[in-house]
Structure 1
Amino acid sequence: MELFYLEGPHLVERLKHDGHEIFLDLKLHDIPNTVKSAMIGLARMGVDMVNVHAAGGRAMMEAALEGLEIGSSSSRRPRLIAVTQLTSTSEAEMQSDQLIQASLMDSVLHYSGLANEAGLDGVVCSALEAGKIRDITRPEFLRVTPGIRLESDAKDDQKRVVTPHQAREIGSTAIVVGRSITKANDPYQAYETILKEWNK
């Protein structure tokens, strides 16, 4: 999100030209028609995966999917995943700030089930929830997990954190890694370390 807002669509074009796959992590959350229109444009940019906030509801998620299908009429539709609860959110914060009185796990599972019913390709969740999401959704349903840190890294503002290897073991299908790479003295070496741990 930060990089896209700074550099804009031309960066996506350049990265696609260089052969990279792109997860454009913009977390859309608006009325269904607005999200649908935005997704038409994102699909035409040729990104490979995008996301919305599941809290926008089933109608919004279905509209997002429809927009991607319209925008990618002559090419492969980008995968669409929904953010359940941010990995920086604790159960106490969710209950006080969002007035959701369910447990954090129940909230995440509810949003995941809703995304599954809406036809989305998966969700963004903590790795701590990935296994239970796997159990209530279809086998190919993606479980993309941020909040990934190496043992030696600071947790910063993340609350629900695991290592790359733990994420794989618990049931993540993909991981999102930010500061463990971007704040490292040698980002490329940090990337290689994370990749090795994810694959071991």
Structure 2
Amino acid sequence: MENKIQAAREKLIVALDVASAAEALVLTRQLAPYAGVFKVGMQLFYSAGPEVVRQIKEQGVKVFLDLKLHDIPNTVGQAAKVLAGLGADIINVHAAGGTAMMQAGAQAVKERAAALGIPAPLMIAVTVLTSVDQRIFHQEMGLAGEIEDRVKTWAILTKEAGLDGVVASPRETSIIRQACGKEFAIITPGIRPAWSVSGDQKRIMTPAEAIGQGASYLVVGRPITGSDNPPAAAQKILQEMAEVL
């Protein structure tokens, strides 16, 4: 079981959805024994700045820099080059930006990493946000068809563009895995253990269900960081993940 717990740790990404580097570092130090990757999103990056990436990595963990780049290809390429220089291990863009934009980001991080002599970060594309349900998808976003079909299409486009994987809800994991193969990385937010509340997430699964569907990484935020005892919550999730590995 110890080996399975360690394997589960490498798959667990804790979302540091806090407003300061001090808060982020407290959580990172508490949770580093239980999670191999920590997610720095817009709130933390915009408030604490690029230095927070280096500070978190000094704790011996990886960083998923979740800024969801989405702009013209040249702008995304230049931004991705800067982010790769910070030492981020995972960087993401929006698949909706199209092939040229994704390729510009992927090429930029490879070139920057090679110039610095560091491993290239995984380049991941966001498909459909987990806060979007079918009603929002149709009525507010004006998109036809089923969410699952759009996610599959964008995942295939992402793979063809040369990126390493996608962010998608756990409900689409098995579809993506079948379409894109076992080496394609699938990062799944919308993870809610049975003992937690769903919050603003719509398309959700438990940790065990998501791992069973073939997720590469699980992103968990509030069920851990909002808990009265974050390490105990993380341990509980690791145990649930390990049981199906």
Relative to the length of structure 2, the TM-score reads: 0.80
**Distance in 1 separating the partners of 2:201 and 2:82:** 31
Match of 2:142 in 1: 99
Q: 1:84 aligns with which of 102, 108, 127?
A: 127
Q: Highest relative contact order (Cα 8 Å, sep 6+), 1 or 2?
A: 2
Q: Does 1:19 align with 2:72?
A: no
Structure 1 residues 123-162: aligned runs within 5 Å: 123-162=166-205
Partner amino acid, structure 1, of 2:69: L
How many residues are matched? 200
**Distance in 1 separating the partners of 2:201 and 2:91:** 22
C-alpha distance after superposition, 1:62-109 (max 9, x if no partner): 011011012111221100111100011001211122221021111100
Partner amino acid, structure 2, of 1:111: W
**Distance in 1 separating the partners of 2:208 and 2:200:** 21
Match of 1:8 in 2: 49
Moved over 6 A (4+): none
Query: SS of 2:110's equivalent?
Result: helix
Partner amino acid, structure 2, of 1:162: M
**Distance in 1 separating the partners of 2:46 and 2:206:** 29
Q: Does 1:193 align with 2:236?
A: yes
**Distance in 1 separating the partners of 2:149 and 2:135:** 14
Query: SS of 1:71's equivalent?
Result: helix
Asked whether the 8 Å contact 1:149–1:155 carries over to 2, the reply is yes
Q: Does 1:75 align with 2:122?
A: no
RMSD (Å) for aligned C-alpha atoms: 1.0
Unaligned runs of 5+ in 1: none
Identity %: 43
Query: SS of 2:53's equivalent?
Result: helix
Query: SS of 1:176's equivalent?
Result: strand
**Distance in 2 separating the partners of 1:107 and 1:95:** 12
Query: SS of 1:60's equivalent?
Result: helix
**Distance in 2 separating the partners of 1:18 and 1:156:** 29
C-alpha distance after superposition, 1:114-134 (max 9, x if no partner): 001001100001111101101
Query: SS of 1:64's equivalent?
Result: helix
